[in-house]
Amino acid sequence: MLGGCGSAVLAAAFPEVGIGLIGVSLAFGLTVLTIAYSLGHISGAHLNPAVTIGLWMGGRISSKDILPYVISQVLGGIAAAGVLYVIATGNGSEIGGFAANGFGDHSPGGYSLTAAIVTELIMTFMFLLVILGATDTKAPKGFAGIAIGLALTLIHLISIPVTNTSVNPARSISQALFVGDWALAQLWVFILIPIVGAALAGVVYKYLSSE
């Protein structure tokens, strides 16, 4: 939340020196990369309910681990969004869209619900394939965090114009709670579709790796 959405809210269009779409995409990727290497040995660096469910579908974690991870992810996202709200309103500004995810009139590029669903489904599916593959015991050791972080950067470069990029229900929930209104009305897409994409990837990777 602080790394990715923080960069989008505070720095993307900062007068004259804004980091833009590329900078925001890198911020999301670098957040995952740095946490993977610093906290991965403690928790697996699960930051995303869709990832947790995809890993479960792929046979990587136990079903008893799902709820604790998801609760922690959502509460952590809300707490970080609260910190970001305090900072973003510290100069008297309104929060505006607050980097919330949306489609139609609330898509950065005006993309439809169908485009949003396809984008979030495919992006999350591919993200989980990268995660499952990079963390496989047969994969080269020590490079998983780099592959995963760069994959998330690429995903944001593709899909920020469509939905502001979710691929993470916790990220979507936390921002929508502060925006309210349309963001809450459209939130179902950014909870349901990433989870479906991740679950499908878990099944597909489990099949591929068994061959």
Interval 95-105: pLDDT, tens: 888 999 999 99
Check pLDDT > 90 for residue 157.
yes
Locus of tokens 């925001």: 24
Residue type, 206: K
Higher local confidence (pLDDT), 198 or 91: 198
The whole-number pLDDT of residue 14 equals 66
- Residue 32 tokens, joined: 């995952």
- d(C-alpha 26, C-alpha 7), whole Å: 10
User: 10, 11, 28, 9: which is closest to 157 by C-alpha?
Assistant: 28
Q: Report whether 65 contacts 170 (CB < 8 A).
A: no
pTM beyond cutoff 0.75: yes
Look at domain 4-210 and name its CATH class: mainly alpha
Would you list the DSSP string of 79-116? Answer: HHHHHHHHHHTTTS---TTTT----GGGSTT---HHHH
Check pLDDT > 80 for residue 16.
no
Interval 60-73: pLDDT, tens: 999 999 999 999 99
Q: Report whether 175 contacts 5 (CB < 8 A).
A: yes
DSSP-derived 3-state class of residue 35: helix
pLDDT, mean over the chain: 93
* Confidence tier at 81 by pLDDT (50, 70, 90): very high
Q: Report whether 107 contacts 116 (CB < 8 A).
A: yes
